[in-house]
Structure 1
Amino acid sequence: MKYNEEFLFIVLFLHKVVQLFRRFGVLTILAVIGLIFVGGFVRASGAGMGCPDWPKCFGMWIPPTSVDQLPVNYQAIFGAKLKGEVEFNAIKTWIEYINRLLGVLVGFFIFLTLIFSYKAYFKSNRSIFYLSLMAFVLVLFEGWLGSKVVSSELLPGLITVHMIVAVVILGILVLAILKTYFLEGFIRELDNTRDIRFLIFIVLLISVGQLVFGTQIREGIDLAQRELGYDNRHLWVNSVLGKVNFHAVLGLVILGLQFLINSKIQGRFKAALISSYSTGTLVFIVLSIITGVILRFFGFPAFAQPFHLTLGVVILCFQFVLLFLTKPQIA
């Protein structure tokens, strides 16, 4: 009887740890998506140098809310890094600082996810632990990269790499969580999905290219911002008009392919989990195109930029889930 009680305790403990791993994993995924959104908002608002130093902000752990809290000669101290911001701007400073705080929070969540993955899966399925470890190492690298973005005064190439690493972290976490659901039997294998899986793979590749190409447009926009000024947002698109039009065509191709994928899935697996993810992917693609149209024809408004970027990342996540669901036995 004693051994049965001990065995039951171990089973219940592992079940609890698995639940904690999933909860923190999902919470971390949402936090990373939130971090990408805030990062996009930082760029859209021109707050990238709101804190001209790192890890402190104007030499403080808690940034100032008023210029009175800064040294009289703060312009001389930080002037070389203020990117033309002669006067202290509390709003931009706190936008950038919140972005950093969220980054720290994501790191904390990933660390807890790593701990729970070790407790739950190190002995039974180490691939999940190694995925969590990889995400944790990458988030440390991402923090270091963020310091280089600041020290380089927003070098466009570094900003692009910074964003891509965040997307890679997100993909690793999604894969780790999907594996746990497969192991627990929440995801069942589907038959007759080879043609659907091929289409999903193609549209996923195009979407990755679309995201990378979008970063090139963003770098062109950054250059236009420096040359034309922040107040001439409506003129920025003209400097990258050819790239924007090609980006739009790719978006329509993705929409068409996803519509075809959704039709096939609805016809074969209407009651399955994959059906909901397929429909959700289609909805997010439509919303992404709408925000793209707003950016293209309405003067590149700041509010639409982070939504457009975040929707692109969410679409990638959903497409990745669809790819996994069409052949879960690879887990």
Structure 2
Amino acid sequence: MTSLSNLINERSFRRLALLTVLSVFLLILVGGVVRSTGSGMGCPDWPKCFGQWVPPTDVSELPANYQQIYAHRGYKDVQFNATKTWIEYLNRLLGALIGLFIFLTFAASIKAYWRRDRPIVGFSFLAFLLVGFQGWLGAKVVASVLSGWLITLHMLLALIIVGVLLYVAARSQAHVKSVVPVTAKPTVYRWLWISTGLLLFQLLLGTQVREMVDEVANQFGQQQRYRWIDELGVRFYVHRSLSLVVLASQLAWILPFRKEAKQRDITYILSLAIVSLVLMEILTGAIMGYFAIPGWAQPVHLTLAVTVLGLQFIIILFLYADRLLPVLPKNSSTIQRADTPML
């Protein structure tokens, strides 16, 4: 009876962990929408929004001198915009919901894995601590009126949280399906790490480019959107050119890796997905460069980059499975079918 209860608890945990990972990717997409619509200061205070737990829908619901009130608090030129306010407010609500998911993941890990695999509990707790720090950092971003380096740090921390949650989900899945470490030539390992580092640098550089886009947008406005690209400066051109370097570094490990991987193996499928997503990311970048940065392209571009980084992390887990993931006994009754994917 106890064994059956444990299996149910572990199955529920695996589903919750996967849901939490997907929800974090959704939050990153929504965060991109906040930036692309210029809604970052839609709520000039935190945790409330214009001093209310549920923000207003019309300027008439605010004091007549609300701009003066916020000017005294250090926020200049605060102008209420219902659409931007509610985009930022919904972003905060989603962040709070994901914080709850991560707490539930930690609580469920204690019940399911405290005796069997305490690293899962430890990393679940680490994710809970990091998301709390992320909430505090988000408040600092608002208080700084969208300071550039704080936004970059905010994004970096989000990527770390994604990595921790992916590891928790992968480690829990390894308890129900034996993971055989994938072997590859040394050049695959070397270029996989190089491409991962380049992608991370490119992603953080893109965060800075988005900050420049915000500044140019405030300067020229929507009516002169066609001028934005020309005003972005050298960092934009470095970011654009680096995308081809990132693609080349990906192909440097994927092409030799695919020759060794089995076509039905999950790592083979992930490698194909990575190439496809990188090409889509370059396409969305070109669309922004040649079509005056359409609003929809920015969050899609960001989410594609984060997804590629996540998939590469999963590949790394397979390559180092003997060190990073638990190994099941050969006679384990909990091993699933061989064609069941790990994630």
Q: Is 1:253 the counterpart of 2:245 in the alignment? A: yes
CA–CA separation in structure 1 for the residues paired with 2:30 and 2:217: 19
* Equivalent residue in structure 2 for 1:155, among 147, 152, 156: 147
1:71-150 equivalences in 2 (<5 Å): 71-79=63-71, 84-86=77-79, 88-150=80-142
Q: Is 1:274 the counterpart of 2:231 in the alignment? A: no
Structure 1 residue 71, shift from structure 2 partner? 2.5
Q: Is 1:213 the counterpart of 2:205 in the alignment? A: yes
Counterpart in the other structure of 2:317? 324
CA–CA separation in structure 2 for the residues paired with 1:233 and 1:130: 48
Q: TM-score, normalised by structure 2?
A: 0.88
CA–CA separation in structure 2 for the residues paired with 1:63 and 1:47: 14
- 8 A Cα contact 2:250 2:275, kept in partner: yes
CA–CA separation in structure 1 for the residues paired with 2:152 and 2:30: 15
Structure 1 residue 328, shift from structure 2 partner? 0.9
- 8 A Cα contact 1:132 1:173, kept in partner: yes
Structure 1 residue 186, shift from structure 2 partner? 4.3
Task: For residues 161-205 of structure 1, give each alpha carbon's deviation from its aligned partner in whole angstroms, at most 9, with x where no partner exists.
Answer: 111111110011011111222233343222345432222111111
Counterpart in the other structure of 1:45? 37
Structure 1 residue 33, shift from structure 2 partner? 0.9
* Equivalent residue in structure 1 for 2:235, among 230, 243, 260: 243
Structure 1 residue 85, shift from structure 2 partner? 4.5
CA–CA separation in structure 2 for the residues paired with 1:322 and 1:59: 46
212-221 or 35-44: bigger deviation: 212-221
Task: For residues 227-248 of structure 1, give each alpha carbon's deviation from its aligned partner in whole angstroms, at most 9, with x where no partner exists.
Answer: 3345433322223342222222
Q: TM-score, normalised by structure 1?
A: 0.91
Q: Is 1:298 the counterpart of 2:321 in the alignment? A: no
111-120 or 215-224: bigger deviation: 215-224
Task: Give the AA of the match of 1:114.
Answer: F
Give secondary structure in 2 for the equivalent of 1:154: coil
CA–CA separation in structure 2 for the residues paired with 1:265 and 1:183: 26
222-231 or 51-60: bigger deviation: 222-231
1:13–1:79 Cα change, 3 Å: same
Q: CA RMSD in A?
A: 1.8
- 8 A Cα contact 2:67 2:77, kept in partner: no
* Equivalent residue in structure 2 for 1:31, among 23, 26, 33: 23
CA–CA separation in structure 2 for the residues paired with 1:267 and 1:122: 40
Give secondary structure in 2 for the equivalent of 1:25: helix
Task: Give the AA of the match of 1:130.
Answer: G
Aligned length in residues: 322
Give secondary structure in 2 for the equivalent of 1:183: coil
Q: Is 1:15 the counterpart of 2:12 in the alignment? A: no
- 8 A Cα contact 1:265 1:274, kept in partner: no
Percent same amino acid among aligned pairs?
39
CA–CA separation in structure 2 for the residues paired with 1:156 and 1:222: 10
Q: Which runs of 5+ in 2 are unaligned?
A: 325-343
- 8 A Cα contact 1:182 1:188, kept in partner: no
1:83–1:317 Cα change, 3 Å: farther
1:183-198 equivalences in 2 (<5 Å): 183-198=175-190
Q: Is 1:315 the counterpart of 2:308 in the alignment? A: yes
Structure 1 residue 324, shift from structure 2 partner? 1.2
Structure 1 residue 70, shift from structure 2 partner? 2.1
Give secondary structure in 2 for the equivalent of 1:30: helix
